[in-house]
Amino acid sequence: MYRIFQTVLFALILLTAIPTSGLRAEEGLRELVNAFGEAKLSDMDEHIAALAKTGDPKVVPILEALGEGNLYARKADGQVFLTKEGGATLTLTDPVTGESAGEAQKAALSKVKVNNGVRRAVRTALGSLTLLSPDREARLRAAQSVLQSPNADALGAVESALAAEKDAEVRALLEQARATTLLMSDRPAAEKKEAVRLLREKGGREALPILSSALGSADETLKPEIEAALASIEQTQALWAAGQNVWYGLSLGSVLLLAAIGLAITFGVMGIINMAHGEMVMLGAYTTFLVQEVLRNSYPGLFDWSLAIALPLAFLVTGAVGLAMERGVIRFLYGRPLETLLATWGISLILQQSVRTIFGPTNQEVGNPSWMSGAFELGGLTITWNRLWIILFALAVFAALLFLLKKTPMGLQMRAVTQNRRMASSMGIRTPWIDALTFALGSGIAGMAGVALSQIDNVSPNLGQGYIIDSFMVVVFGGVGNLWGTLVGAFSLGILNKFLEPYAGAVLGKILVLVLIILFIQKRPRGLFALKGRAVEA
Amino acid sequence: MIIRARVTGAFLAAVLSTTAFNGTFAAEDTIKVGILHSLSGTMAISETTLKDAMLMLIDEQNKKGGLLGKKLEAVVVDPASDWPLFAEKARELVSVDKVSAVFGCWTSVSRKSVLPVFEELNSILFYPVQYEGEESQRNVFYTGAAPNQQAIPAVDYLMENEEVERWVLAGTDYVYPRTTNKILEAYLVSKGVKPEDIMINYTPFGHSDWQTIVSDIKKFGSAGKKTAVVSTINGDANVPFYKELGNQGIKAEDIPVVAFSVGEEELAGLDTGPLVGHLAAWNYFQSVDNPANAEFIKTWKAYTKNDKRVTNDPMEAHYIGFNMWLKAVEKAGTTDTDAVLDAMIGVSVPNLSGGYSTMMPNHHITKPVLIGEIQSDGQFETVWETPGLVVGDEWSDYLPDSKDLISDWRAPMSCGNFNVATGKCGGKGS
């Protein structure tokens, strides 16, 4: 019911705005749009305001196109058209009639230039234009944009929209927007007081700039009210900030865990100092890149599944490389840690340079699937989707690995071989194969970590180098040979780092963490959770 | 380390064999040009492109008939992102390969590492990257931007067009960001910005966890004043930084980021959709629309046989530097270092942004400054440019140590750090 009412109201407002003759209005509109063609960037604000003032619904797609940079002027006659993004030829749409106007070479058109100022003006204009749109999403966006770039002129539009609005979510936003714009207007102090109260209750950090700028122009009766509101918001923000630090710490910890968990197998369980561990992570990330490349070119619809497809592939690819490394090099070097270190370091350089030769030294573009982009608000916390998924993924990998080691025959054999090789061998376990498989497993898991890390870091040949030191740090700190130690070590280092960072800065924070670890290792050379018993001596 | 040396050795051998192959006409007399860019290690990501660009320029020049009637021959070495190795390789180029000039280096440390070599052996280096200034050397020509050709105009733009009042200076922790930020801070304070409206933040190389810093920026920006970020973040750390900005919903309309080290190459590894409107200040963009640039891009794509390859500002700097060197050698009639050094000053060649660049007596060049906004296709759109050319200022006027220093390599002064207050050559620096 209210939707009909809304549409009617919308139409009514438009009718009053449109001059008597529709044809004349069209001509006027065309003139205004064509003015974009030769306007200077500094004059664009006025043109946008003039266009928005017509209130014509046709203005909305024009302004949207302008904001997205899809408005072009034809060089020959100065006519401005809407276009779709494309290659050298663009399809033109008439801005006023909305009809197709053929195609044109990009060279024959000149783009209507936009900058941040223009985009801001477009956002403001669109905000008040679409507040009454019948589409709920459009109204939501409009309310948000009014809130983001408040201006006192929009108050009337916001209030009439609020009167017609029934949707609770949009209403809440509109109320905030009303309070914000009201504070900037010259309404009586009583109404402003009400607005301050509302912002104090509802407004998070976004309310701070509005209130503090209102503080400057407020009269004496309003000042204490605003100051109290500011203090109260800042207090709650400070509490949330502590929570935010824990969240950031968990998120950094999950990255450390992912990077280190493969090493917890190869170094922790098998005792191989594997300097090529980081390169396994890198190969996993490049596998993701290749999968996305294929999907982008052949099956664009499947793009959101790219990570799910890349995971098993990355495991297989890096697992195979790991297997080849173990069979080809490392098995000849068991019991000679120094040579192992040198050999794996060499392998890491070879892998890096081969990737550089094949894919080139520059970063490769790995896109985020839509479910990994953006953020949502949880109370005062901003939680980004990609970090959330990475935490969950890290925990899942950890759980799966724990299950594999503790509950399966293969895990049993692995543990047997690392605890007492000769006894295991006497019991009929083929120790060389178990060694190879364990190493392949560790490498494969590093590859899977690479898939996740490709979402937050560069995919370049240097990707692995950034993680190798952190990985060793986590494994040594947590206690060599103990998976739980790696988990606890990763998360505690992550949180420690994030609590130090705001005070000490990123550079000093990292140094402090390293110093603390050195002190800790002095005190407990075997890490947080030291293995006890005969396994240690073996 | 042994293995590392061996690997680079093998790679070097491969490179040398290809250059030897190129030089089958070596029986004739050739003029050798050294290329000193890292092809392996962390800096390979940026420097490999410059090596390719130089090879292309030399190739093109040979098609036009070479120089002084001789063919040009490129000698490529790989200093492997290892600063001391830069000095060794530079020495090898000059004393073993007898090159006439060297084009190379990216980071300031690598440049500082080779300076004594070029001075001792009296050879010429062309340095193509924007840097922190505070240096002017007899044997070096700086074709990249000095701070007043990049950082200061960018800040001016934000102040005038975006009415920014609060500033975050974020950088990687090494000499270029530290010096640039020092200059910018002094400049902002001189423009009346209060110290509490400036936030300075440094991060380690390759920093990948930007959550805290981005949320700090968000908090800093919510004080009711228009805020902008001036980024001197280097290399690989940019991609996670921009990804975090996008994910935390910081839009360019609200808090714009202007970067001095992010060009077309860096954006190639990014989905730029969420970054539209963030800014970069350079002296050249691939999107600059003029025939010379179109020709350059076409040649580059054909040379690399890759339609997606982009061009960037340091490539243009090499283009300018190389053409200046050609002209100076022709003017001097010889490749002899002293004669070329004299002939270089005042040489003027077309740049790719539609004008001419001239070599000044302080061994820096004149350039236009462009401010561009990132577009969704990974290119920049110029939204502002300086009305004329800007002369590179080697000694910043905003630092107390260097404001009295000037550099003029013409006789009779021939000094890189002349102190106008004391009237003597030799102030701070060198």
Q: What is the DSSP string of B294-355?
A: HHHHHHHHHHHT-TT----HHHHHHHHHHHHHHHHHHHHTS--HHHHHHHHTT-EEE-TTSS
Say whether residue A506 is in contact with chain B using an 8 A CB cutoff.
Answer: yes
pLDDT at B54 over 50: yes
Does residue A271 carry a pLDDT above 50? yes
Q: How high is the pLDDT of residue B344?
A: 95
Q: Is the per-residue pLDDT at B74 higher than 90?
A: yes
Q: With left for phi above 0 and alpha for psi between -120 and 50, is residue A431 left, alpha or beta?
A: alpha
Name which residue leads in pLDDT, A14 or A530. A530
pLDDT confidence of A148, banded at 50, 70, 90? confident
- Biggest CA pair distance of chain A: 100
Of the two residues A66 and B18, the one the predictor is more confident about is: A66
Taking a C-beta distance cutoff of 8 angstroms, is the pair A71, A80 a contact? Answer: yes
* pLDDT for res A2: 58
pLDDT value at residue A166: 81
**pLDDT of A303-359, one tens digit each?**
889 999 999 999 999 999 999 999 999 999 988 889 999 999 999 999 999 999 999
Calculate the CA B28 to chain-centre distance.
Answer: 35
Residue-level pLDDT at B9: 46
**pLDDT given for residue A505 in this prediction:** 85
Three-state DSSP class for residue A505: helix
Q: What is the mean pLDDT of chain A?
A: 85
Please write the tens of the pLDDT for every residue from B121-138: 999 999 999 999 999 999
Q: What is the mean pLDDT of residues B32-61?
A: 92
Q: Which two tokens stand for residue A42?
A: 């500094």
CA angle (A489 as vertex; A487, A495 as ends), nearest 5: 105
Judge: B223–A342 Cβ closer than 8 Å, yes or no. no
- Stated as kind and residue range, the H or E segment containing B408 is strand B405-408
Per the CB < 8 Å rule, is B2 touching A361? Answer: no
Residue B18 makes CB contacts below 8 A (sequence gap 6+) with none
Q: Does A462 touch chain B (CB under 8 A)?
A: yes
The answer to whether the Cβ–Cβ distance between B373 and A115 falls below 8 Å is yes
* Planar angle of CA A480, A482, A486, nearest 5 degrees: 85
**Mean pLDDT for the stretch of residues A233-245:** 86
What is the pLDDT at residue A86?
A: 66
Nearest chain B Cα distance for residue A242, angstroms? 11
- B302-346 pLDDT, tens digit per residue, is 999 988 889 999 999 999 999 999 999 999 999 999 999 999 999
pLDDT band at B12 (very low <50, low <70, confident <90, very high): very low
Q: Three-state SS across A282-334? A: HHHHHHHHHHHHHHHHHCHHHHHHHHHHHHHHHHHHHHHHHHHHHHHCHHHHC
Under 8 Å CB-to-CB from A426, ≥6 apart: which residues?
A: none
User: How many residues are listed for chain A in this entry?
Assistant: 538
Q: Which among A347, A362, A393, A330 has a CA at the least distance from the CA of A462?
A: A362
Q: How far is residue A83's CA from residue A89's CA, in Å, rounded to a whole number?
A: 10
Q: Sorting pLDDT into bands at 50, 70 and 90, what band is B5?
A: very low
Asked if the Cβ–Cβ distance from A510 to B48 is below 8 Å, we say no
Question: Band of the pLDDT at A74, cuts 50, 70, 90?
Answer: confident
Distance CA A44, CA A244 (A): 40
pLDDT tens, position by position, A254-270? 999 999 999 998 888 88
Question: How far apart are alpha carbons A437 and B153 in whole angstroms?
Answer: 59
B213 contact A CB<8A: yes
Residues 176-205 of B with CB under 8 A from A: 201-204
DSSP-based three-state secondary structure for A149: coil
Tell me how far apart the alpha carbons of residues A482 and B291 are, in angstroms, rounded to a whole number.
Answer: 64
Q: What is the layout of strands, in order, in the sheet containing B370-374?
A: B198-203, B166-172, B227-232, B257-259, B279-282, B370-374, B380-385
Averaged pLDDT for residues B337-363: 94
β-strands B380-385, B390-391 pairing: unpaired
* CB distance B256 to B275 below 8 Å: no
Q: Are strands B166-172 and B198-203 parallel, antiparallel or unpaired?
A: parallel
Inter-axis angle of helices A207-217 and A189-202, nearest 10: 160
Q: Does A466 touch chain B (CB under 8 A)?
A: yes
Predicted confidence at residue A22, as pLDDT, reads: 60
**What's the rounded mean pLDDT across residues B148-174?**
92
Nearest CA to B32 among B83, B78, B86, B92?
B92
Q: Which pLDDT belongs to residue A8?
A: 58
Over residues A17-44, the mean pLDDT reads 74
Q: What pLDDT score does B7 carry? A: 45
- Amino acid (1-letter code) at residue A527: G
What local confidence, expressed as pLDDT, does residue B97 receive? 94
pLDDT at A10: 57
Q: How many contacts, defined by CB atoms under 8 Å, are there between A and B?
A: 163
**Closest B-chain CA to A372:** B247
Please, how many CA atoms are within 13 Å of residue A236, restricted to the half-sphere of its CB? Answer: 16
Band (pLDDT 50/70/90 cuts) for residue B2 is very low
Verdict on whether the full-model pTM lies above 0.90: no
Nearest CB to A510 within list B204, B247, B276:
B204
Instruction: Name the token pair of B9.
Output: 């050795």
Decide: A516 and A465 in contact? Cβ < 8 Å. no
Looking from the CA of A277 toward its CB, the CA atoms found within 13 Å total 31
Distance from CA of B92 to the nearest CA of A (A): 23
Annotate A29-66 with DSSP letters as a single string. HHHHHHHHHH--GGGHHHHHHHHHHT--TTHHHHHHHH
Tokens of A293: 């490349």
Q: Is A362 an interface residue toward B (CB < 8 Å)?
A: yes
**What are the CA-CA distances from residue B219 to residues A120, A239, B199, B216, B227 (Å)?**
21, 14, 11, 5, 10
On chain A, the residues whose CB falls within 8 A of the CB of B170 are none
pLDDT of B77 above 60: yes
Q: What is the pLDDT of residue A9?
A: 56
Q: What distance lies between CA A73 and its chain's CA centroid?
A: 35
Task: Please tell me which of the candidates B209, B376, B381 has its beta carbon nearest to residue A113.
Answer: B381
Least confident of A54-63, A433-442, B149-158, B297-306: A54-63
Task: Please check whether residue B263 touches A, CB under 8 A.
Answer: no
The mean-pLDDT minimum among A155-169, B39-53, B283-297 falls in A155-169
Decide which of B225 and B100 is more confident.
Answer: B100
pLDDT at B6: 46
Distance CA A484, CA A529 (A): 8
Kindly provide the ipTM of the predicted complex, given to two decimals.
Answer: 0.79
Picking from B99, B231, B243, B255, the residue whose alpha carbon sits closest to that of residue B172 is B231
pLDDT at residue A82 greater than cutoff 50? yes
Cross-chain residue pair B253–A363, CB shorter than 8 Å = no
